[in-house]
Structure 1
């Protein structure tokens, strides 16, 4: 029996439950979890962000980049991404067994996003029902969906963002827009669409924001039967009782990103699953260290704390004596064109004495102090860039034109491809970026997970449909 007022929707020609598995990139969602979610009658989502592919024996093919140039490594990355995406969709479709639906998820800001999406759909459009896409402004999403005859579900974090996309692109392909995903920028895991006008420290109630989105959709003539998918902070349907069957909001569906991580079919390593059970409220940090330039939410592991500390060991400088920059920095740098405030020189000397002997320039006319080993890792990771983003602040890579952002590489950030591949394939969670939504602390509180219980995806979907 399903929770109050929750009824199946027709999607891709068949009835499915309006519960969607969130697509988590770089192998945190794969065919096993998404296929099982569809088999349970929902909408499973294969991540098409650097998905794994397999050799003849069924082992994961390591994604290695031995080419000399970033451009060549980027081309290799795109090949890996297309091959992996195709393989994951085919396997998910097989597991689904004709039930539910399979979507694929891409980040518009990933390197070669359009080429990857087109490459996957050219081989799998008959198996894929829809494409969810966010992390940027994916204007070309509707055209790609039309070309391959699949539905599209744009991910937005405000009515304003949807309005811009609709006017410029989506209004030309309205029939294939199956839903609009509202991703709460304060609560969702991974990359968030927080705008410069919004305060990261002041979360806003999602209800009025979603109501504004629906009002905008109505104004553009979009039927109330086109669902808005609430994503970010969704744990139990009982928490959203007032949203379901609410004429003010129209049709509503719900996306679950964090809960599917802790299932039997979830591909993440056991260490990551175990860590999810111990989180407390506040353990997930909304931060801006990502090389995408977007805010994102992740667990405050040792890795994330080291990035926080690195940025705190930072002082501004001028190339000439000016204003309060009246003394020359005499630790961590070579040359005399680093003028700083006297108080900042004292701080720098203290960091230097504590072992943070290397000063690295940032694009914002500051220097950060790091240990020699940390400096070596940063430089090594920057040199090994494989172009996984359309624009990367960490390495100054850009995936088109002259292949550079034209800005100094930023040592306050990190190689996101490296850390996400590492955590997904078994490296220690404390030493990597561990994406999670802000409701992840509920694993510890929810009796469903007591005594170390890990549900199958089918058991989780059945639990969700009761409202719990």
Structure 2
């Protein structure tokens, strides 16, 4: 397969390779990986989502939340987030040695996103080349970018989403729009932009979607020189050769989220790196258990399988006898206001007999059945919420107004901050969420990683530039 090669682009006032390191959640992308990516001539990305900070001896400071109320813990989380991201940016900038560029990545749906972003940019002036932001509709991103004179790179999954952002806000700060990241909903890892109108079981070819995005950008007057960054499913660039120098698409850059996980500089634990080498096609699950409400992709490990099983042990109910709900549920719940179908009553009794004796209500007028131990974990995690999201389905937290979504907390979900912090710092892989893109199985197939070889970031970037 031929490969025509890449040409550098102008970004942040200097020439860089159109290769972007994808920012990954909590502590999975830090100064070591992003600084090295920039030093190799690309665009490194520091994750500003509750990043690690360090004590005087260089040890990671555990993010412990001792405050009594959710609001106080949320304020503590914002302080942790700002301190950590500032430290990571300073270190990444030093490692880059003035080469490439260092971006930061934030999720607009994270708790206190605007406060964190402003706090970080205030203390890193001249170091951050751009801000990548998705997981929501970040209308205020351009306004914040203008205030701190940094580039911004919104993450979208359709031309429609970009048009909405552009017309409402971005057209006012068009000169700082450095790129538009197209995150493919069927290929990307972590949270993605799959809309309710799309079928997650029927992924679409990204080319027509990216062409439609470029057509939308052109219609709004955005120059072809503003790159679209293809994110999701990118492994060998030779497989994307027809995208490069393609007049239909305009300028194209490529984001690598999964491949940088398996490098010497990658901060994830060794057990996680080793596990990546074992994955097969189908081992990544596109699911909707995240408390954000977004679809996301992760390794289908025992943690995710448990969430699947938890939702399988689920029956609808009504508070009065109605329709097919003709019998009263007599296991797992207190009171008599739970009417179900005879078939569902039989299923509930079977689950009860198998040890799933606790019934928990969901916001959708259903009941799930869990073990007593699992119930205790769910209730404790909900009570310990530190407000890491702007809206959390699992705990019903909201980061403004009355600090509640007004909906019943959903036991089918989980505390995302707890599990991402744990897995990033050496917690058991089987008991935590492991984000990954759908191409993660290719570690097992790619000759680069044979004989347990782990490249440096520089070696990986050089390899990518050959087409492999």
TM-score by length of 1: 0.99
Give the alignment of 1:73-152 within 5 angstroms.
73-152=73-152
Give the alignment of 1:249-398 within 5 angstroms.
249-398=249-398
Distance in 2, matches of 1:467 and 1:107, equals 30
Q: CA deviation at 1:4?
A: 1.4
Give the alignment of 1:9-28 within 5 angstroms.
9-28=9-28
Classify the secondary structure of the residue corresponding to 2:242: coil
Distance in 1, matches of 2:62 and 2:294, equals 28
Contact 1:182 1:210 in 2 (8 A): yes
CA deviation string 1:28-54 (max 9, x = no partner): 000000000000000000000000000
Contact 2:48 2:104 in 1 (8 A): yes
Aligned twin of 1:32 = 32
Contact 1:16 1:43 in 2 (8 A): yes
Q: CA deviation at 1:181?
A: 0.3
Structure 1: tracts of 5 or more residues without a match: none
- The count of residues paired between Structure 1 and Structure 2 equals 467
Contact 1:3 1:465 in 2 (8 A): no
Distance in 1, matches of 2:240 and 2:74, equals 42
Runs of 4+ in structure 1 over 3 Å off: none
Distance in 1, matches of 2:363 and 2:183, equals 30
Contact 1:104 1:130 in 2 (8 A): yes
Distance in 1, matches of 2:223 and 2:336, equals 65
- Is 1:404 the counterpart of 2:404 in the alignment? yes
TM-score by length of 2: 0.99
Classify the secondary structure of the residue corresponding to 2:146: helix
Give the alignment of 1:452-467 within 5 angstroms.
452-467=452-467
Classify the secondary structure of the residue corresponding to 1:272: helix
Distance in 1, matches of 2:355 and 2:336, equals 21
Q: CA deviation at 1:125?
A: 2.4
Aligned twin of 1:178 = 178
Q: CA deviation at 1:183?
A: 0.2
Q: CA deviation at 1:430?
A: 1.1
Contact 1:396 1:408 in 2 (8 A): yes
Aligned twin of 1:429 = 429
Distance in 1, matches of 2:455 and 2:335, equals 60
Distance in 1, matches of 2:52 and 2:80, equals 8
Aligned twin of 2:46 = 46
Give the alignment of 1:63-78 within 5 angstroms.
63-78=63-78
Structure 2: tracts of 5 or more residues without a match: none
Q: CA deviation at 1:459?
A: 0.3
Distance in 2, matches of 1:257 and 1:236, equals 13
Aligned twin of 1:166 = 166
Root-mean-square deviation (CA), in Å? 0.7
Q: CA deviation at 1:3?
A: 5.1
Contact 2:5 2:467 in 1 (8 A): no
